[in-house]
Amino acid sequence: MTRLNKIALLLLIALAIGLLINGFLQKRIEPNFGNNGETQNYRVGKYKVFLYAKSRLDGDSGPVDIIVSVNGTQAGTIASHFNYDTLMDLPAGYTYYRWIDDDLYRDLVIDPHSSQTGRSLYFIGSQDGKLKLK
């Protein structure tokens, strides 16, 4: 195996590992029906972040509001959509951590699914703990 082939193989392995890690580190935002369901808890810098996805309709698909609270105060609501019809498995969104606001701590990215508005990413900044559109 030549040196160039070894480098290409190492780059391919690094890319595959990066894609696997990114896929496994995403967390699903599941809709809650009525008062049943749990709040998802996160830590962003010195802030405690809570997400609660509340379905607006009964059924296995429809609109959902992702309620975002930071340190016990509601920071905002994100409109989203979920679909658990036959052969569908689309949660209200996903969360994952990324470095966005250029400090030591990772920021929480909220990636909602929305069938009307297209893709919008939101994040909670570790510097100020505010909900922002990315």
Whether residue 43 lies inside any domain: the answer is: yes
Whether residue 11 lies inside any domain: the answer is: no
**Owning domain of residue 40:** 28-133
Query: CATH number of the domain that 63 lies in?
Result: 2.40.128
Question: What are 52-61's pLDDT values in tens digits?
Answer: 998 888 888 8
Whether residue 3 lies inside any domain: the answer is: no
Predicted local confidence at residue 60, as pLDDT: 83
Whether residue 78 lies inside any domain: the answer is: yes
Whether residue 68 lies inside any domain: the answer is: yes
Whether residue 69 lies inside any domain: the answer is: yes
Integer CA distances (angstroms), 98 to 31, 63, 80, 103, 121, in order: 23, 27, 21, 11, 12
Whether residue 5 lies inside any domain: the answer is: no
Predicted local confidence at residue 73, as pLDDT: 94
Predicted local confidence at residue 21, as pLDDT: 62
Predicted local confidence at residue 2, as pLDDT: 87
Whether residue 118 lies inside any domain: the answer is: yes
Tokens of 26: 């995403």
- Which residue is it, tokens 């959509």? 81
- Which of 129, 128, 127 is closest to 49 using CA atoms? 129
Predicted local confidence at residue 118, as pLDDT: 62
Q: Which stretch of DSSP H or E encloses residue 129?
A: none
- In the predicted model, residues of the chain with pLDDT beneath 70 are 19-24, 33-38, 114-118
User: How many structural domains comprise the chain?
Assistant: 1
- Which of 134, 117, 130, 132 is closest to 45 using CA atoms? 130
Question: How does DSSP assign 58-105, residue by residue?
Answer: SSSEEEEEEEEEETTEEEEEEEEEEE-STT--B-SEEEEEE--SSSSS
